Chain A
Amino acid sequence: MSKKVGIPKGLLYYNFYPMWKAFFEELGAEVVTSSDTCKKIIDDGVKTCVDETCLPVKTFMGHVIDLKGKGVDYIFVPRVISVERRRYLCSKFLGLPDLVRNLISDLPPIIDMKIDFYRGDDFMKKEILRVGKLFINDISKIKGAYEKSLKMQRTFECIIREGFSNTEAIKIMEGEKLDANTKGDLKIALLAHSYDIMDDYLSMGLINRLKNMGAYVLTTNMIERDKIEKGASKLQKDLFWNYGRDILGAGKYFIESEDVDGVISVSAFGCGPDSITEDLLERDYKRDGRIPFMSITIDEHTGEAGLNTRIEAFIDLLRWRKGEIMA
């Protein structure tokens, strides 16, 4: 019987799920995900974590608890240290498996694969074998599985660049048929970590809300690398968080290129990295003064009405600037 690997639907799930899934399936394992985020999952997470933890991590813990009840043989909680040379992720990813082990008791074994490209990709070759050997003792097969997973990741990223959100791209890869929503007449850049905006429950369907109001939403993952690099080259000093750098780079690019009508940034309450990047971004937009900028903070208490009012007001502002609404 094949072994079941549980993947929690939180944090970097939205960036790497197709890759992880392909890897484990090629190794002959069955992949199970946790349920969609719901009140119970968040409540479980909130109860487990210390109160200052950010909402995405609390939610992640809720998903791990959900998987515990699904009878999986392993839970995949990678220690993602770095996905680009010389750049880190936030501290919480560096200690994530430790946090999970210490906060939740009676867990099935955790696969704490280290993903670390800080000094190049040599390290991964060893780590792939270590994890692969949990399933099969065949080095060439394990390497093959890794190659396949990288291929899936490239396909996934291509689909996103066509204008699909990460969540939509995951659905497409599972065989669903969706249309890319590039219709809206207002172009809005939504600059945020994927785990803050891709989980519809956490962000209260922010992307769909914007789409329904006639916006064409652009996330950092949809933007071409060279544009982000161009924006990031204007930083005084290279930023050491890769996702934060993507957000800042994209933000700086849009100030120059002016090909969006408005920019919205979303961050979780108390987010350490975003406290700095958002300040720098907001300052740039204020100095420039041409493109409207709004920042939204989410936490477990966020009220839907408040969010809606702010988005509606922002969209009205953009339409008014375009001359569609008379004052």
Chain B
Amino acid sequence: MKITYPHMGSLNMILKTMFEGINVEVVEPPPVTNKTLSIGVKYSPEFVCLPYKINLGNFIEALENGADTIIMLGGIGPCRFGYYGQAQKETLIDLGYKFNMIILDPPHGRLVDFLKELSSYFPDVYWKDALKAFIFAVQKMIIADKFEKKLLILRAHENRSGITTKIFEDYMEKIKNAKNKKELDSIYKEGLEKLRQNATIKREIQLKVALVGEIYLMLEPFSNLDILKSLNELGIEVTKTDFLSDYLINSAFKLPQRMEFKKYAHGYLERDIGGHGLNTVANTVKYAEKNYDGIIQIFPFTCTPEIVAQGIIAKVSSDKNIPVMSLSYDEKTGEAGYQTRLEAFKDLLERRRLKNIKKY
């Protein structure tokens, strides 16, 4: 069995660690490029969202590289992601590929059931080994996410353009190849130190922006034209509101976070509407109340939950007096147009700050 899976930010690193920990051969899907996207677009329905198209591209490229088993997540709706695996399977069958597809439906979002189902596909693997591999994969994920959180602040202060990104990528590679927890900790310490050394620029007006929206767009830099890097390089500190580790922890212990979201979104959106619609509204309110300078919402074109949220957070924006910008992405999104919008947004935020300073 040669296993593959779709890309989503640092997911590759985690799944690779996990499967190799239980001695299952992995065919990493090639990194997402424009080629991946155009393959995906060619065989996808027109109005389906960008993550579907990129995933399909990943699968085709991985199958071409010799993978024979695809692992994909399912769902119970109402987000259409819950039926992606089925639709993609049909497409790949029509394209003539021979493969096995494992679609994991998290029954009620409980991690234990999920792992049980997963283990049933690998009968030769011992429960203990699997658990060990899983724990190490989770440790890597937590370190990687912690490292990225630091990056999103420090890169806004970098001395030389591009240097922090370079350091970050080097150390992410090291985290990916780390063999044990001890090594992991020392890589993190060293990497963080290097980031700090190269981030010493201070500004009189330091802007802070929260990034909210759909999870795939937030986790996969290719899909959002690396908006985090663009914002950081404009000198803006960014708080990303979704990380893979948060996502996993929240699906394991669903309730507390949902209560928190419901509390924040109360008065704007009264229930979960599928996808990350509730998260987007809740996070917008949360960071508006934390006095961030602005909020940016990113989501794939035609994403219904996010479109509903987009309408609602416009109201949050006027109630809480905080600028909100919504950006939707598809395969035709041009980088220059978005760069201009980000720059204009930054100017707007800066002027608001200047106005406030003069007032006092």
Using a CB–CB distance below 8 Å, which chain A residues touch chain B? 49-50, 52-54, 79, 81, 87-92, 94-95, 97-99, 102-103, 236-237, 239-241, 269-276, 278-280, 283, 287
Shortest distance in angstroms between A326's beta carbon and chain B's nearest beta carbon? 34
B269 partner residues in chain A, CB cutoff 8 A: 95, 98
On whether the beta carbons of A102 and B314 are closer than 8 Å, the reply is yes
- Pair A102/B315 contact, Cβ less than 8 Å: yes
Write the chain B residue with the least CB distance to A284.
B90
Interface bin, chain B: 35 or more
With A91-B275, A95-B308, A98-B268 given, is the CB distance from A240 to B76 under 8 Å? yes
Residue of A nearest to B105 (CB): A237
Known A-B contacts A53-B311, A102-B312, A241-B78; A91 and B87 likewise in contact (beta carbons under 8 Å): no
Contacts of A276 in B (CB 8 A): 45, 48, 80, 83-84, 87
Contact A94 B302, CB 8 Å, known A240-B82, A241-B77, A276-B87: no
Contact between chains at A275 and B46 (CB < 8 Å): yes
B98 CB, nearest partner CB in chain A, Å: 17
- Asked if B303 contacts A272 (CB within 8 A), the reply is yes
Most buried by B among A50, A90, A239: A50
Question: In B59-93, which residues have CB < 8 Å from any A CB?
Answer: 74-80, 82-84, 86-87, 89-91
* A and B contact pairs by CB, cutoff 8 A, 12 listed: A52-B307, A53-B307, A91-B304, A92-B307, A94-B273, A95-B269, A97-B270, A237-B83, A240-B76, A240-B82, A270-B47, A280-B87
Is A240's CB under 8 angstroms from B310's CB?
Answer: no
Give A275 to B56 CA distance when docked, in angstroms. Answer: 15
> Closest Cβ of chain B: how far from A292's Cβ, in Å?
19
A49 to B304, CA, bound (A): 13
Within 8 A of A (CB), among B204-243: none
On B, residues with C-beta under 8 Å from A are 45-49, 74-80, 82-84, 86-87, 89-91, 94, 103, 105, 268-275, 277, 301-305, 307-312, 314-315, 326, 328
Task: Point out the residue from B87, B305, B315, B328 that lies within 8 Å of A279, measured CB to CB.
Answer: B87
CB pair A279–B45 under 8 Å, yes or no, is yes
Q: Inside 8 A of A49's CB, which chain B residues have their CB? A: 311
Given contacts A98-B312, A276-B45, A276-B87, 18 further A-B contacts (CB under 8 A): A52-B307, A52-B328, A53-B311, A88-B274, A90-B304, A91-B78, A91-B308, A92-B304, A92-B307, A94-B272, A95-B273, A102-B311, A102-B312, A240-B77, A269-B47, A270-B301, A272-B47, A275-B80
Q: Which of A89, A92, A239, A280 contacts B308 (CB 8 A)?
A: A92
Taking CB atoms, residues of chain A closer than 8 Å to B312 are: 95, 98-99, 102
Verify A272–B271 contact, CB threshold 8 A.
no
Q: Chain B residues with Cβ under 8 A from A98's Cβ?
A: 268-270, 308, 312
Q: Find the B residue at minimum CB distance from A52.
A: B307
Q: Which residue of the partner chain, among B46, B79, B83, B326, contacts A91 with CB atoms under 8 Å?
A: B79
A278:B277 contact, CB within 8 angstroms: no
Residues of chain B with a CB closer than 8 A to A97's CB: 270
Most chain-B Cβ atoms within 10 A of its Cβ — which of A103, A275, A278? A275
Closest CB in chain A relative to B321 CB, distance in Å: 16
**Minimal beta-carbon separation of A119 from chain B (angstroms):** 12
Query: What residues of chain B lie closer than 8 Å to A241, measured between beta carbons?
Result: 77-78
Distance of A219 Cα from B229 Cα, bound (Å): 50
Contact B78 A94 (CB under 8 A): yes
The smallest C-beta distance from A255 to any residue of chain B, in angstroms, reads 14
CA A287 to CA B314, docked complex, whole Å: 45
Q: How far, in whole Å, are A236 and B74 apart by their CA atoms in the complex? A: 12
Chain B residues near A272 (CB-CB < 8 A): 47, 49, 80, 302-304
* A274 surroundings in chain B (CB, below 8 A): 47
* B311→A275 contact, CB < 8 A: no
Contacts of B310 in A (CB 8 A): 50, 52
